Amino acid sequence: MTQRSGRDLIDAAKTRIREVSVNDVQAMQARGEPAVYVDVREPNEWNLGRLPQAILIPRGTLETTVEQRAPREATVVLYCAGGNRSALAADTLQQMGYDKVVSMAGGFRAWVDAGGTVDG
């Protein structure tokens, strides 16, 4: 079996998913577009702040939890701290049959840097 690094897996996932910018997500929220905002960080990161209307589903529990929290037909916006875990999560959700899923490039750090509203 070919050995691949974590970076290799992230880079490959990013070729299969759709990434959106912080500005895209802010515009979606400003337009009131219905979406499920999923924070895939860990609870200690969530406690430091999060996007408005977000729900917490840590990356490690995504596959066993998401179906109860996010309908398959919903637009799902995933984010993490920097955009890597959310890319992997988006790839996973697509494999599970979610077809309107995106990963926010740059993650929560980019959101804060862009002056995005933070809850918590």
pLDDT at 15: 98
Give 82's contacts (C-beta < 8 A, 6+ positions apart). 106, 107, 108, 109, 110
- Residue 80 is encoded by which pair of tokens? 């993490």
Crossing angle between the packed helical segments 84-95 and 6-16, to the nearest 10 degrees: 60
Fold of 6-113: Oxidized Rhodanese; domain 1 (3.40.250)
pLDDT at 78: 98
Cβ atoms within 10 Å of 68's Cβ, excluding its own: 8
- Residue from 80, 93, 104, 110 carrying the catalytic annotation: 80
Strand ranges inside 31-100, DSSP E: 36-39, 54-56, 76-79
pLDDT tens digits for range 6-17: 999 999 999 999
104's enclosing H/E stretch is strand 101-104
On the question of pLDDT at 1 being above 90, the answer is: no
Cα–Cα distance measured from residue 26 to residue 28, given in angstroms and rounded to the nearest whole number: 5
Instruction: Give catalytic status of residue 80 as yes or no.
Output: yes
Place of tokens 């979606």: 28
pLDDT at 116: 95
pLDDT tens digits for range 44-99: 999 999 999 999 999 999 999 999 999 999 999 999 999 999 999 999 999 999 99
